[in-house]
Structure 1
Amino acid sequence: MGSPLALAALPPCLVWQADRLAGSAAAGLPTGFAELDAQLPGGGWPRGALIELFADRPGVGELALLLPLLRRTPADHWLAWIAPPFLPYAPALTSAGLPLERLLLVRTTNAAETLWATRQAAASGACSAVLAWPARIDGAGLRRLQLAAEDSATPLFLFRPPEAARQPSAAALRLLLSGRPGGLTVHILKRRGPAAAAPVELALPQRPGAAAPSRLDDHALARPAPARLALAGLHPRRT
C-alpha cells in the first residue's frame, strides 16, 4: 500500500479520501440553496446520477426543493414526470415558473411500466431532469436507473417512502426530507463523501399571490381536500 505522502502527491481527481467530499469532473447543478450546495459533492445536484428523495407523504416540500432546477429546463429538453401520485395542477406550476410546454407526464399502470418508462426517459438524453414515483423497485432496477442516468448525464430523482431507505441502493445521493413550517429539513443519508454531521435546514420559497403563506407543495397536502391540493401544485388522480 502506498504511503500517505505518496497518495497526497497524486492529482486530486485520482484520489478520494473518505474524510472529504468526493471531487467531480463536472460541477454539480446548483440546487438554488447555498446551504445544501455546500454539503453536496460538486456543489449541487450530480449531473448524471440517481438521486433518491425519501418522505413520509407527498407534499412535504419535495417539489419546492427541486423548483430552482426545474425552472431552468432548456427550450430543447423535456422535464419528465413518471407516475406521480397526483396529477400536476397547471396554474400552480405556471405561477411557480415551470415551463409547462416542456413538461412530459407519463402515467403507468404497474411497477414494471414505471421502471421501463423511467429508464427510457433517463437514457434518452432528451430530458433535463426526470422525476419518478415508483411504487416498488428492487436493487437491480436501481442499478439500471443509475447507469441510464450516468450514460446520458441526466439527473434522475426518485420519490420514495422512508422505509425504502433501508434498501441498499446504487444511488449517488439519498436524502430524507421532513417538512416544517416555512421550510424543509434535509437529512443526507448517502453522498460521495463522509457522513453529514447534521441535517440541512432550508427555507422554501412561498407560492406567489397566496393569501396565506403556502409552498408549491404545501406540507398540508391531503387527498380529500382538492382546494388545498391546488396550493400544492397537484390535483388528485381521477379514477
Structure 2
Amino acid sequence: MSATSLPSPRSTQAALDQVMRTNVWRASERAVSRATTMATGHAMLDQELPNGGWPRSALVELLVQQHGIGEMQLLKPALAGLSRQQRVAFIQPPYLPHVMACRSWRLNEQNVLWLRPKSSADALWSAEQILKNGSCGAVVLWQSNVRPESLRRLNLAAQSTDTWLWLIRPLAAAADASVSPLRIALRPALGGVSVDIVKRKGPTCEAPIFVPLLDMPAGRQLEQDHHEAPRHRVLTTASIGSAVPALV
C-alpha cells in the first residue's frame, strides 16, 4: 500500500496566497465585492468608493451642510440614467421639483415620483414600502432626524431590493452612529462641492475630495424653497400608491 503524497510547502503557500488575494479583504484596502454599483459620473469620487460607484441595495447617506449646495448635482448623472427606464422617487424634498429643470438635466419627468408625506414617520414608511415592492429604480429621501432603529429598517429594506437609496441628512448627523455602509459629507466649494467620506468599507479617506460641478448655477433651478412662488411648472405631489405624478 503506497503512502499518500502530501503537497509541498511551496505549493501550499502559493494556494494560500491566491486565496488571500481573491477572497480576503484587508482593512487597509478599499473593499471589493460582488455588490452591484453604478458610476457616480464623477471620476475623482469613483476612485475613492468601493467597487467604483454608488452601491445598489444599500443605504447611502449624504450629509449636507445646508440644502442646495450641490447634492442633487452630485446625484444628477445617476438619477438621469435611471429615470430613462425606471421611476425615481423624491420623498419630502425641501424644494419643489421643476419640470423644465428635470428636462434640462435629462431626467425623464414622466418617471419622477414626488411624495410629500405629512410627517417624518409617513416619509420613512413610504420609503420602506417603495423599497419592499421594488416599484422604483431609486429613492431619494430627505430627513432631519432619524432614529437608529429607522436607519436599520431602511438599510434592511434596501438590502432586499435592487433599488438605489440615498438619504439626505444634516451634516451634524455625521457624529452619530449609523448602519449605512457609505456616508458622505458635503460642503460648498467654489465651482463644486467638497466631499468627505465619513464611512466606507476600507481605510479612512484622509483628505476631502473636490468634485467639480460645472453647471452648478443652472442646476439650482431644480430646487426652489417651498415658501417662494414657483417660476416654472412643478411636479404635483403624489399619493403613496400613485404610479406617476401628473403635471400642472
Q: TM-score, with normalisation over the residues of structure 1?
A: 0.84
**1:15 deviation in Å?**
1.6
1:20-169 correspondence to structure 2 within 5 Å: 20-169=29-178
* Residue deviations 1:131-185 (CA, integer Å, cap 9, x gap): 0012321111101111111110222101100111111111111000011221111
C-alpha deviations, 1:7-49, integer Å up to 9, x for none?
Answer: 6442555321000011120342000011000000011000111
Shift of 1:5: 8.7
Deviation at 1:205, TM superposition (A): 3.1
- The answer to whether the 8 Å contact 2:96/2:226 transfers is no
- Whether the 8 Å contact between 2:60 and 2:166 is mirrored in structure 1 is yes
Of 88-97 and 42-51, deviating more is 88-97
1:216 to 210, 219, 239: 219
Q: Aligned equivalents of 1:230 and 1:22: distance in 2?
A: 45
Give the letter aligned to residue 70 of structure 1.
Answer: L
Alignment CA distance shift 1:85-1:196 (3 Å):
same
Name the structure 1 match of 2:211: 202
CA change 1:222–1:103 in 2 (3 A) is: closer
Q: 1:183 aligns with which of 166, 188, 192?
A: 192
The 1:9–1:67 alpha-carbon spacing in structure 2 relative to 1, beyond 3 Å, is same
% identical aligned pairs: 36
Greater alpha carbon shift after TM alignment, 55-64 vs 69-78: 69-78
SS of the aligned residue for 2:39 comes to: coil
CA gap 1:7/1:57 in 2 versus in 1, 3 angstroms: farther
How far apart are residue 73 of structure 1 and its match?
Answer: 1.7
CA distance in 1, matches of 2:231, 2:74: 18
**1:200–1:215: structure 2 CA closer, same or farther, 3 Å change rule?**
farther
- The range that moved more, 160-169 or 74-83, is 74-83
Which residue is 1:170 aligned to?
Answer: 179
Partner residue, 1:211: none
Question: Deviation of residue 224 (structure 1)?
Answer: 9.2
1:210 maps to what in 2? none
Whether the aligned pair in 1 keeps the contact of 2:95 and 2:226 (CA below 8 Å) is no
Structure 2 vs 1, CA of residues 24 and 217 (structure 1 numbering), >3 Å: closer, same or farther?
Answer: farther
- TM-score by length of structure 2 reads 0.81
Unaligned runs of at least 5 residues, structure 2: 1-12, 238-248
Q: 1:101 aligns to what SS in structure 2?
A: helix
Output the CA distance in 1 between the equivalents of 2:184 and 2:231. 26
Q: CA deviation at 1:234?
A: 8.5
After TM superposition, the structure 1 stretch with the greater mean CA deviation from structure 2, 74-83 or 176-185, is: 74-83
Q: Greater Rg, structure 1 or structure 2?
A: 2
